[in-house]
Structure 1
């Protein structure tokens, strides 16, 4: 198994990477990711809210990734250095190397486009509706594409040539959008892997970890993990995923508290009303809850997790978590406005460190997890705590109407970029003067589709513009060279736009609209 885990798609000499560690190949993976320009770029990509929206220094994707890495390493060390029976189970499931976990945590957000999750949703819509790519855009699949194809290292022409263990550890949703899907015969979303389908309670669109162009690499990375079900994450990936949830649920509260975005009064009335009126709220019809009346949003959350995750959701445990968050966050930390003093700084550090420590210790390894869980999972009370903390983000920060102004403007930026770059490349007289990186990405994607035609034509997308196709999503995979070139151009545009920082995207859109003087190069 160790040999399979350390296998790269293209063999490389290991001795020149000697580090004194037992498995230097994993250290090479980690350093290739950390030295990547895609990793550095994350310092200028929105995490939850843009700094321009609050006038404060807030977490970005880089600081988030660094903190996920720290949490993930602590969990991995705990799993591999404590209980002997647990270590034996981890080994039987394929292993959990702390360096691989750090590599996955460092890489997990590489594919996030400008403007965070908003950018991901907008690019997916533009990919499908404007560019005719049925697979659309997905941040996890983009991360894997960067590691497999777009980034470069000194030894191979495409990608970072990571070990199978590190590649598999970033596959949170180890399937494609329409291909290599989990073979589970059910229409019940509670019996399907988390993120694999759209239901009333799921975020849309469905999650997946590889485009058709990169599916062969996905299958190759997973080849040695025979003890893991096709729809399950590897243990190392599961550790990274749990760490991501923990870091997201807590570290961003630091930003919101410092920036004054979280208004204690509004949060407090929501929690107090739910705890006081839970029985009455539970009796309301669902249609009566879709408003911002105090207590209603928490009741909707309760119903959501019971409907979506009955394998772990519990009314009693949910109420205990609401009470715990109300006591320690709402009536504790938020009750004293942040004023920059040492006292409030210590209050933040004390709150975050105590919760991080408890959640890190609240993990267990499962030999046969529920289909909606992973081999590494939070204990029920911690799972509910993270759910309630994430609710605070969504309800009182992300869904705030005043941030919608920024988000609508950011969506227009991405719309401009995709539309104008597509038009530019379609111009027979001026297309060759497009940015060289964009041209390189288009060539790379186009070559990929033609390789797919030779190696796995059944994975090719359908051509919605072909005669008799009957519209997008109908017909058979196309092998038409013109269609493949069009797909390559579309994917190349998405690869290019997704590689920009927030500021680069805004500035380029402005130039393409003619808002800036043509001589303002580099602005």
Structure 2
């Protein structure tokens, strides 16, 4: 690949003042623009999974998570480009793997996470489609790309950060849209579709994607620099970021749960011991019988799910070995000693996390022609199963806990109030102009974007719901409604958890929020 093609920006600009002796200072510009972004700083006040309240500032937020993903991703990138000459040759044929580009992508990958993390993402998607009439809904990955492409600003362009093609492409974990420019594969068989691309029974709904139609031209421009990569595949640098995200997520959440005391060793131990003891019996049960049994049934359901969803890599032998390894080192090892804040337990968690991260980030390989559900850089089968089982622990024993539902119901209500009240405010002809200026700016930006779509790519516009012909919406009032809806989502997604809660209280007229500026 032509290096100039990878380093292409939407608008050329001088970069000499950033030069630090590096071969490609353009990538350093990308990294620093992301790190100096207010959207990046905001991540320090967005919950990863467990809120810091009540347990002190010991748990991860989206910022600390992103920083650690960046460290893991850089280590993997350096490993790929300095160890195996044959592996390095494959990387170069696929477009290269610059460690600074990988760090930029890792720093940016969670910028679009709304208040309250993944729960907020799901709630905003539902509200976008059902309340605001946006067929594309809301998606955190697409929101991250939208921030880089349009919402954030820098000194050289009016909209976006004007990143290189390499850095923009490295953020595209799911390089397609929700309604158009999707993989032209076999949607009837989820094992033949890219991971996350379909809302099948094997995937979490809704399907994932990396660009709204407003930003598709930017996505396609960035991807055009990587002609050796299949349309549905990540670039090598994006694959490295994605693997690093999986590694960090699987371990740092466990770190948080252990410190917060919400991961109870007894319940986890019973599940793992029973599965290891009764695996053959559990495997022989039909689905109805399995659902009625506990413990051990959750791990057996996980095994069946990965075998059905990912037969290209799933292995009963590897799965049992991973369950045994996690049982020994996490359940019977780390969790057997409750965290009490002492130096002894601090060393224990540090030793556990660092040893697992070291082993997992060394367990990667480069594949020139990967399975459609994998990437050019992926984990070895043993490590892939390890990450799957580690994720299972915090999903089954923390996130799915009934007592978490109380908090989640309240957080959902906050987002519902924000979307409903802001939409009503903007619809008020007398008071609408007094809405927050940032909200008005976002609405104007999105509305202008839809009018550009009508001029440049009218087929990308959503179909008019009032038309039997399925023709795209082109009426100025319809485009204005779409722009207002997207602008509201851009605004709400830019808030921190605390800002969202406080603003919802003020919009509801709660007495404690009446004080000006509270």
TM-score (norm 1): 0.97
Q: What pairs up with 1:444-523 in 2 under 5 angstroms?
A: 444-464=445-465, 466=466, 468-469=467-468, 475-516=470-511, 520-523=515-518
Gaps of 5+ in 2: none
Q: Which residue of 2 aligns with 1:328?
A: 329
Q: Distance in 2 between matches of 1:476 and 1:273?
A: 57
Which residue in 2 is equivalent to 1:343? 344
- Contact 2:18–2:29 (8 Å) recurs in 1: yes
Alpha-carbon distance, 1:91 to partner: 0.4
CA contact (8 A) 2:447 2:484 kept: yes
Matched, 1:81 2:82: yes
SS of residue matched to 2:5: helix
Q: CA deviation at 1:16?
A: 2.7
User: C-alpha offsets along residues 21-54 of structure 1, whole Å, 9 cap, x if unaligned?
Assistant: 1000000000000000000000000111223476
Do the aligned partners of residues 290 and 475 (structure 1) sit closer, same or farther apart at CA in structure 2, a change above 3 Å counting? Answer: farther
Match of 1:364, SS?
strand
User: Following TM superposition, by how much is the alpha carbon of 1:198 offset from its aligned partner in structure 2, in angstroms?
Assistant: 1.2
CA positional deviation for 1:316: 0.7
CA contact (8 A) 2:58 2:259 kept: no
Per the TM alignment, residue 519 of structure 1 is displaced from its structure 2 partner at its CA by 5.3
Provide the C-alpha distance between the structure 1 equivalents of 2:290 and 2:125, rounded to a whole number of angstroms: 30
CA distance 1:521–1:332, shift in 2 (3 Å): same
Deviation by residue 1:73-126 (Cα, 9 ceiling, x = unmatched) = 000000001111111110000000000000000000000000000000000000
Q: Give the corresponding residue for 1:289.
A: 290
Q: CA deviation at 1:200?
A: 1.1
SS, match of residue 335 in structure 2: helix
1:66–1:291 Cα change, 3 Å = farther
Deviates more, 1:16-25 or 1:502-511: 16-25
> Which structure 1 residue ranges, 4+ long, deviate > 4 Å from structure 2?
53-56
* Partner Cα distance (1:49, 1:517) in 2: 25
Residue 124 of structure 1 is matched in structure 2 by 125
Counterpart-to-counterpart distance in 2, 1:287 and 1:357: 40
**Residue 259 of structure 1 aligns with which residue?**
260
- The answer on whether the counterparts of 1:49 and 1:398 sit within 8 Å (CA) in structure 2 is no
Contact 1:242–1:377 (CA<8 Å) still a contact in 2? yes
Deviates more, 1:513-522 or 1:328-337: 513-522
Equivalent positions of 1:329-408 (< 5 A) are: 329-408=330-409
- 1:200 is aligned to 2:201: yes
**Is 2:96 the partner of 1:106?**
no
Aligned length: 517
Between stretches 9-18 and 189-198, larger displacement belongs to 9-18
Q: Deviation of residue 520 (structure 1)? A: 2.2
- 1:217-296 map, 5 Å: 217-290=218-291, 293-296=294-297
> Could you say what secondary structure the match of 1:377 adopts?
strand
Cα contact 2:502–2:513 (8 A) shared by 1: no
* In 2: Cα distance, 1:55 partner to 1:290 partner: 38
Deviation at 1:291, TM superposition (A): 5.5
RMSD: 1.2
Measured in 1, the distance between the counterparts of 2:373 and 2:169 equals 18
Change (3 A) 1:56 1:266: farther
- 1:251 Cα deviation (Å)? 1.2
Give me the TM-score of the superposition, normalised by structure 2: 0.98
Change (3 A) 1:199 1:186: closer
TM superposition shift of 1:56? 6.0
For structure 1, list consecutive stretches of 5 or more residues without a partner in the other structure: none
